Amino acid sequence: MVRAFCFVFLLIITLHHATAQFELRGYANYMPSGCIMLTPNERYAEGIAYSSTTLDLNSYFEIEFDIYLGDKDELGADGITFVIQNDARGFDAFGTYGEGMGYGRFNPSFASGNYIAPSIAIEFDTYQNEIQNDPPCDHVAYLENGSSYHEQYWHNEDLSFNLEDDQMHNFRFSWNPETQEITVKLDAVVVYQGQRDLIQDIFEGQTEVIWGFTASTGNKHNLQYFCFRRIAYQEKPADENITYKANSSAK
């Protein structure tokens, strides 16, 4: 049993600190602080930053970063998305500006317009677009395949909920390949939890995927940026782990 416990310790999650490299597109740019600006405080801007290292969906991971969505509430827009994608355009994949937040389209039924797919995304939406079923306040929602429309959203049951408060907000996204569960936390509160077979139902069997952030502004605008904090990554359990489970149950 001692040996088994040692093996479990060897599986301790590997931490990668804030050294990730990003592919930048559009208005995205490094800031003196080391954070990455996605949009300046300007009209009709769009910026995208993808990690140059892909993720393996067979592995457990948790990604943590801080996001800044601006300091103008009524006059601010549009928000940031965290995206995981396998779009044929790779690091050049982008969506529509304005309410698309650089990820989706103005209307999911439109045949035209840029969007990122196959993909999933978490949006931090700071501007109400009724056609996307946005509530009148800022909110978080889970999106798929380049559609910005969402049936459900989280706004802390507060119709004055505001993310454009000139503060950093901590965001964590985790994926558990065993249970196929996605968990999203904003400022340590669970704001989304869902079960989805990402490999089969979204990425058509592909397990190596690109991840990063998109953002845009429209007629209204804010400075928007993110600061990468951490990836916790655990490789797929090896065969020895199965042996350990068998030993454990036989004791």
Q: Which of 26, 97, 125, 222 binds Ca ion (CB under 5 A)?
A: 125
Q: How many angstroms separate the Cα of 11 from the Cα of each of 16, 177, 231, 240?
A: 15, 16, 15, 11
127 binds Ca ion per the rule CB under 5 A = yes
Whichever of 55 and 191 has its CB closer to Ca ion, that residue is: 191
- Give least dist CB 140 to Ca ion, A: 12
134 binds Ca ion per the rule CB under 5 A = yes
Alpha-carbon span 69 to 168, nearest angstrom = 8
Whichever of 46 and 99 has its CB closer to Ca ion, that residue is: 99
Q: Which of 126, 147, 217, 224 binds Ca ion (CB under 5 A)?
A: 126
CB neighbour list of residue 250: distance below 8 Å, 6 or more residues apart: none
User: By rule CB under 5 A, what count of residues binds Ca ion?
Assistant: 10
Q: Which of 99, 122, 147, 175 binds Ca ion (CB under 5 A)?
A: 99
- Give least dist CB 62 to Ca ion, A: 27
Within 30-89, the residues that bind Ca ion by CB under 5 A are 73
Whichever of 40 and 135 has its CB closer to Ca ion, that residue is: 135
Q: Is 245 helix (H, G, I), strand (E, B) or coil?
A: helix
Whichever of 46 and 138 has its CB closer to Ca ion, that residue is: 138
Please name the residue ranges forming H helices in the chain: 2-10, 239-250
Whichever of 7 and 149 has its CB closer to Ca ion, that residue is: 149
- Which of these segments, 32-40, 54-62, 88-96, 120-128, binds Ca ion (CB under 5 A)? 120-128
Report whether 207 contacts 57 (CB < 8 A).
yes
Q: How far apart are the first and last CA of the chain?
A: 9
> Closest by alpha carbon to 182, among 195, 170, 171, 191?
195
- Which of these segments, 18-26, 85-93, 126-134, 188-196, binds Ca ion (CB under 5 A)? 126-134
- Give least dist CB 65 to Ca ion, A: 20
Judged by phi (left if over 0) then psi (alpha if -120 to 50, else beta), residue 148 lies in alpha
Within 148-167, the residues that bind Ca ion by CB under 5 A are 162, 164
> Closest by alpha carbon to 100, among 77, 75, 70, 74?
77
- Which of these segments, 91-99, 169-177, 195-203, 205-213, binds Ca ion (CB under 5 A)? 91-99
Q: How many angstroms separate the Cα of 247 from the Cα of each of 178, 189, 230, 232, 239?
A: 20, 37, 34, 28, 13
Query: What residues line the site for Ca ion (CB under 5 A)?
Result: 73, 99, 125-127, 129, 134, 138, 162, 164
